[in-house]
Amino acid sequence: MLPPSEGKTAPADGPALHLRGLSYPELTAARERVLEALIAVSKRDNANEILGVGRRVMPEVVSQRDILFAPCAPAREVYTGVLYEAAQLCRGDDVRIFSGLFGVTTGEDLIPTYRLSMNVSLPGIGNLKTFWRRELAQAGVEGSDCRQQHCEMRHSGAQSPAGASQTGDIELYRDAAEANMAQTTIDMRSGAYQVTAPYGDWWDLRVVDSRGKVITHAAKHYRGLLTRALLDAGHERQPGLGKATLTDVAQVAGTLGHVEVTHDGLRHHITLMLE
């Protein structure tokens, strides 16, 4: 589970945004509302104040007025901040990316560049963290892991039954969530993007220096490195072995530095201490 990044690379070409083609299609109506509000705000003279950005990025804000026609690329290629530079996401990597504009996507979903933090409050929408927490919960997306089934349907050309209701779609995704609850979840999100909690056992990460002081900006780099290491370990894992254990996760994290693990019910905290 990843945050987005402020650093983005605009696709040179590609298709326009197709909201109904994104993973978690039950979020389409919510995404449309946020997108419309963002376009409207981007046309205002005080757009930078509402979006909480500096004047130097106003050209990016202005360009959002035409975001519906902007070229799109896989999210894993659009996000290019510190975490993503270290993670080097590849096709097939099992990630969910939470964002203020789309709620949650996979790395393969085609998106444009944009400027919209989860901390922003949009006119007509309100605080985006509150908005998405509510929308994800109502859609049954929180903690669910539906992307594998959805991607398989998309790549195989399979379509939902004609006339399928949104409620039926949500039930389908809930069934997929229950079937995948045994998977290992690692939460790499920053506080602003922790709008859901995974089902079952899950792990989060804290990065500290040798004195135990929490590292902030540099932590993004190590979150990216651990993301890559855990994904690689997942690819190498033999089929049929079940979900990764706490020991497995800690051993992978231990390749980056000294690791301490504490437990809080189903939630497990990994503290990575850098030398």
What's the pLDDT tens digit per position in 250-267? Answer: 899 999 989 999 988 888
* Residue 196 covered by a domain: no
Rounded distance between C-alpha atoms, residue 15 and residue 112, angstroms: 9
Domain boundary among 121, 148, 179: 179
* Residue 223 covered by a domain: yes
Q: Do 73 and 144 sit in the same domain of this protein?
A: yes
Amino acid identity for residue 190 in this structure: S
* Residue 245 covered by a domain: yes
Rounded distance between C-alpha atoms, residue 216 and residue 225, angstroms: 15
* Residue 175 covered by a domain: yes
Q: Do 211 and 163 sit in the same domain of this protein?
A: no
Q: Do 68 and 131 sit in the same domain of this protein?
A: yes
Do residues 110 and 126 lie in contact, with contact meaning Cβ atoms separated by under 8 Å? no
Please say if the pLDDT value at position 160 is more than 70: no
* Residue 103 covered by a domain: yes
Q: Do 154 and 226 sit in the same domain of this protein?
A: no
Please say if the pLDDT value at position 235 is more than 80: no
Q: Do 167 and 250 sit in the same domain of this protein?
A: no
- Tokens found for residue 92: 């097939």
Please say if the pLDDT value at position 155 is more than 70: no
Mean pLDDT along residues 38-59: 93
pLDDT band at 8 (very low <50, low <70, confident <90, very high): very high
* Residue 238 covered by a domain: yes
Which DSSP category does 199 fall into? S
Q: Do 107 and 150 sit in the same domain of this protein?
A: yes
The confidence score (pLDDT) of residue 98 equals 97
| 144 torsion bin: left (phi>0), alpha (psi -120 to 50), beta (else) | beta
Domain boundary among 179, 213, 246: 179
Q: Do 24 and 138 sit in the same domain of this protein?
A: yes
* Residue 13 covered by a domain: no
The confidence score (pLDDT) of residue 199 equals 78
Mean pLDDT along residues 237-241: 49
pLDDT digits (tens, 9 = 90+) for 98-149: 999 999 999 999 999 999 999 999 999 999 999 999 999 998 875 544 333 3
* Residue 4 covered by a domain: no
Q: Do 26 and 106 sit in the same domain of this protein?
A: yes
If DSSP codes are grouped into helix, strand and coil, which group holds residue 112? coil
Rounded distance between C-alpha atoms, residue 8 and residue 85, angstroms: 11
Please say if the pLDDT value at position 240 is more than 50: no
Mean pLDDT along residues 14-26: 96
Please say if the pLDDT value at position 164 is more than 80: no
For the chain, the domain total comes to 2
The secondary structure of 25-82 as a DSSP string is GGGHHHHHHHHHHHHHHHTSTTHHHHHT--GGGHHHHHHGGGGGGS--EEHHHHB-SH
Mean pLDDT along residues 197-210: 87
Percentage of the chain beyond pLDDT 70 is 81
Q: Do 128 and 218 sit in the same domain of this protein?
A: no
Q: Do 122 and 212 sit in the same domain of this protein?
A: no
Q: Do 53 and 166 sit in the same domain of this protein?
A: yes
**What is the rounded average pLDDT for all residues in the chain?**
83
Mean pLDDT along residues 166-178: 40
Q: Which residue has tokens 């996000």?
A: 79
- The parent domain of residue 223 ranges over 201-273
Q: Do 152 and 232 sit in the same domain of this protein?
A: no
